Amino acid sequence: MFDVLPFGIGAWFFVAIYLCSLILIGWFGYNARREDTLRDFYLGGQGFGFFVLFLTLYATQYSGNTIFGVAGATYREGFGWLIAVHYMLAMIVCYLIFAPKLHTLARARGYVTPVDFVRERFGSPPLSLLASIVMIVALNNYLLAQLMTMGRVLQGFAGPYGDVAYNYGVLGLTLIMVIYGTLGGIRAIAWTDVLQGGVLMLGFLVLLAMLIQQFGPLSAATEAIATSANVARIAPPDADMQRQWLSYILIVGLGGALYPHAIQRIYAAKSKRVLNRSMAVMAFLPFTTALIAVVAGIYALAYIPGLEGAATDQAMARVLRVVQESSALGYGLVVLIFSAVLAALMSTADSAMLSISSMFTKDIYSVHFSPTAPESGLTRIGKRCSWAVLAALAVLAILLKDQTSLITLIDRKFDVLVQLVPAFMIGIHWPGLKTGPTLTGLVAGLIVALSLAFGPFDFVVGGKVWGFHPGLYGLAVNLAIAVGGSLSPRKS
């Protein structure tokens, strides 16, 4: 994917220093621990203040996909992919539904994992177990995709030795991540997120300045597209695309707000005031990240024509290659951008890793296998779980190196995550939501969503039915059962 971007020894040195600093931060996090408990390891004890919480939310929400995926999609769809700005904001809006209240409950009741809330609210072991499985499966898929993208980024750094670099890249970055993650837990990960979020924010701003300096104003790029065969890509979206916009806003907004690692950051806020202030600032970040990625895709569409199919994902790399070759300053800036990409990937992956380990330890191992285990023992199990999960996913990422279609097939995380909307977003406000209908709705929603996504149906086009994601059809069924069943006069 990125074999168009060879780098020299100076770039490698810069990246090595950056990676070593992450391990050093992990060591500081290890020394800063106050007690050997799950809450301290996974939520940072008393919680984070505004600066750390804001940057860890930012670094976690924006992954490498925001930079490369959005630019590639814009190359294919044109300005129609402005939807990336909308759905990144939709997540922040959907947090309003439940995050402030969940934070208050979590602080009062000592929640560590998202499922702690479900367990206490519904008191149903099957519902809690299913919610854990849904979240763990979705996060494993997400983590695998991040590891594979890490390998591809390193592939780009290595030039002609791309294939070898992919393998070493996945193994090396995974090892660094698991070291600092298991050393200092959430504290280390949030502190590395401060560095990674800072690099990411700077990277996006540099990218915008670099694009304008290299290619000229955006108006010239849009004009070039308007006079080419791609003129349709600057026209307003048609009816089908408008339905897709609504679908993306709903599924990414609702599903993204239920990312377990994001919910744990809600728990980790020092106070509701800190959480609200962080979210208020986050509401503007789609304009400094997703919108810049869309603009980069427009520049690529205007000045680097001819990319088709999967090659469109190289749009950003091709743009960077042009900048890199223009001057020594351009070369340095491109190295910074790639560091920002690594930062985005690692900050998302390490958070997912920690969240999987916490849910396995607290929601599955502690509840079903060893209810009397001490907190220090559970923390140890959690660390071993992080090593085991990352080892398995790193091997899988190497085995699936050339099988990207498989990743596409299993990339249904939002379709399954969104099925937890009734349990979290309705359950937290409506005491009348009953356990039985919620569990039945969740099962039915998952069956509908996965059947539509993977079944041999002619009416499913591009993974969507009439422009809407399968997960939303599942959610409609899920909601009807959960709410209808709870309103029914029959006892549950």
Partner 1 sequence: MPAPFMITSCRHSRPRMAFRKELRMKESQEKRSRRWIAFVYLGLLVLVIPWYWPGGDVRQVLGFPLWSLATLGAVFATSLFTAWVYWTSDDTN
Q: Contact residues for partner 1 (CB under 8 A)?
A: 79, 82, 85-86, 89, 92-93, 96, 100-101, 104-105, 109, 120-123, 217-223, 226, 231, 234-239, 242, 245-246, 249, 272-273, 276-277, 279-281, 283-284, 286-287, 291, 298, 431
Cβ closer to partner 1: 272 or 380?
A: 272
Shortest approach of partner 1 to residue 237 CB, angstroms? Answer: 7
Cβ closer to partner 1: 5 or 118?
A: 118
Cβ closer to partner 1: 143 or 293?
A: 293
Closest CA to 26 of 194, 191, 195, 262: 191
Cβ closer to partner 1: 156 or 253?
A: 253
Q: Is the dihedral of CA 321, 323, 326, 332 positive or negative?
A: negative
Closest CA to 134 of 250, 254, 259: 259
Shortest approach of partner 1 to residue 427 CB, angstroms? Answer: 8
Cβ closer to partner 1: 3 or 375?
A: 375
Shortest approach of partner 1 to residue 39 CB, angstroms? Answer: 16
Please state the three-class secondary structure of the chain as a single string: CCCCCCCCHHHHHHHHHHHHHHHHHHHHHHHCCCCCCHHHHHHCCCCECHHHHHHHHHHHHCCHHHHHHHHHHHHHHHHHHHHHHHHHHHHHHHHHHHHHHHHHHHHHHCCCCHHHHHHHHHCCHHHHHHHHHHHHHHHHHHHHHHHHHHHHHHHHHHHHHHHHHHHHHHHHHHHHHHHHHHHHHHHHHHHHHHHHHHHHHHHHHHHHHHHHHHHCCHHHHHHHHHCCCCHHHHCCCCHHHHHHHHHHHHHHHHHHHCCHHHHHHHHHECCHHHHHHHHHHHCCHHHCCHHHHHHHHHHHHHHCCCCCHHHHHHHHHHHHHHHHHHCHHHHHHHHHHHHHHHHHHHHHHHHHHHHHHHHHHHHHHHHHHCCCCCHHHHHHHHHHHHHHHHHHHHHHHHHCCCCHHHHHHHCCHHHHHHHHHHHHHHCCCCCCCCHHHHHHHHHHHHHHHHHHHHCCCCCEECCEECCECHHHHHHHHHHHHHHHHHHCCCCC
Shortest approach of partner 1 to residue 373 CB, angstroms? Answer: 19
Shortest approach of partner 1 to residue 270 CB, angstroms? Answer: 13
Cβ closer to partner 1: 180 or 248?
A: 248
Cβ closer to partner 1: 85 or 186?
A: 85
Burial class (CB in 10 A: 0-12, 13-18, 19+), 478: buried
Shortest approach of partner 1 to residue 187 CB, angstroms? Answer: 25
CA–CA separation, 168 and 315 (whole Å):
25
Shortest approach of partner 1 to residue 250 CB, angstroms? Answer: 9
Shortest approach of partner 1 to residue 104 CB, angstroms? Answer: 7
Shortest approach of partner 1 to residue 268 CB, angstroms? Answer: 17
Cβ closer to partner 1: 2 or 122?
A: 122
Shortest approach of partner 1 to residue 238 CB, angstroms? Answer: 7
Cβ closer to partner 1: 76 or 380?
A: 76
Cβ closer to partner 1: 121 or 412?
A: 121
Shortest approach of partner 1 to residue 279 CB, angstroms? Answer: 5
Cβ closer to partner 1: 278 or 324?
A: 278
Residues written for the chain: 492
